[in-house]
Amino acid sequence: MDSPNLRLLLLLVFASAINAQDLLPHAICATTGNFTANSTYQTTLTTLLSSISTTKSEPLKYGFFNASSAVSGASQTIYVIGSCRGGKGNSTGTVIIAAATSFSAGLVIGILILLIEKRKKQQRGERIEGEVEDEINTVESLQFDFGTIRAATDNFSDSRKLGQGGFGAVYMGRLSNGLDIAVKRLSSNSSQGEVEFKNEVMLLARLQHRNLVRLLGFCLKGVERLLIYEFLPNSSLDQIIIDPVKHANLFWDTRHKIIMGVARGLLYLHEDSRLRIIHRDLKASNILLDSDMDPKISDFGMARLFELNQTQAETNQIVGTYGYMAPEYAMHGNFSVKSDVFSYGVLVLEIVSGQRNNLFHMGDDSEVLISYVWKNWKEGSISNIIDPPITSGSSIEIERCIHIGLLCVQENVARRPTMASVLLMLNSHSVTLQVPSRPAFFMHGGIESDMSSM
């Protein structure tokens, strides 16, 4: 018997434990009920109820009712609960009868509760087992042979190396079918351990979005741990920002497309996928660009999976990149979707200003990007914020992006918008923007502002 039917039977048996010795059938939905007179339903109902002897001689009425009849003493009472749920015409309705003695009702209820709980556990176990099996099958289908990847990268030749980080190196490769790939080879002392490696494989295997990097597979052999991605020819956003030639050719339309694409990718992670993912390491070097300069969020080794109704979590192990970390995370280990929003705001300010999020020189002064943008915003010197190569594009749109970036990096977590709100503000200029409050990590004259209010 399935769980809903067990619950119904439990309810009916529970009703049988009530001392209803003197109750008779009584109408709630009128004497004729909601069924056709002289129908099969009425005949069946009358037959069933007439088989129960009663101590009273009142005429039988139809509708929703309950009744009881002593068969052979008070301890052997049969209780009946029925419903006038008949259809029109000659369709047969349903009468539900629950019978139990007062003596055994408690025992029956206890047994039914155990049955229900057992069935629930079985269903949960079957569901979890099915999900695990699906994930194992998915992962197994993504596993590459180590020899295949070694051949594709010319034995991990330096000439194939695309970049180097704390996690290891990234190489370009070409499979025998001509497909270009990017291979992340984790070093043995990588900060991304086995747990993070499996985390990235499982997450990317289950996520699909045009603004997320596509995982093609992985490889595990001895100490070797490899992740194989689609190859994106335009490298990462940080490489373009620091490259004088590429930087000069990064026009506003392209920058705006990157800002929009990253926002869509984050919204998918936070709200639109079947999972809720907090990236925790969003930064320019983790934004890869395809041949059309469409952005794709990468590196999910530090990502955390939230329950759909979960809003925040905390950790003692702070991971990520300082400068992009929200203050509540960097200082207290508290993270949420708003932590990613903060990182996104920093990224937007980098894209508009053409400056990396670290100390940079403006004349004789050294500035932190967020402080520099905030100071000029407050003074109304918007042109000082905008990257000089941006010579075209809507000045209103550019200024709006700066405004949104400042809203995202506010020190007060509650004042930061969600990614859904960010996309709405980016897409619709009719949406009025709030006045941003002071950003986190505001520095003036090389001295960090007081953050004791946190």
Q: Which residues are the active-site residues?
A: 281
Q: How far apart are CA 33 and CA 42, in angstroms?
A: 10
Q: Name which of 216, 222, 184 is nearest 301 in CA terms.
A: 184
Classify residue 212 by its DSSP letter.
B
Q: How far apart are CA 170 and CA 177, in angstroms?
A: 21
Query: How many CA atoms does the CB half-sphere of 95 hold within 13 Å?
Result: 21
DSSP string, 239-290: HHHH-HHHHHT--HHHHHHHHHHHHHHHHIIIIISSSEEE-S---GGGEEE-
Q: How far apart are CA 331 and CA 334, in angstroms?
A: 8
**Cα→Cα distances 296→2, 180, 283, 305, 454, Å:** 46, 17, 12, 19, 33
Q: Which residue stretches of 307-435 are H helix?
A: 327-332, 337-353, 369-379, 395-408, 419-427
Q: Name which of 20, 14, 15 is nearest 109 in CA terms.
A: 14
Please answer whether residues 286 and 299 qualify as being in contact, where contact means their C-beta atoms are separated by less than 8 angstroms.
Answer: yes
Please answer whether residues 339 and 322 qualify as being in contact, where contact means their C-beta atoms are separated by less than 8 angstroms.
Answer: no
At position 294, the amino acid (one-letter code) is: D
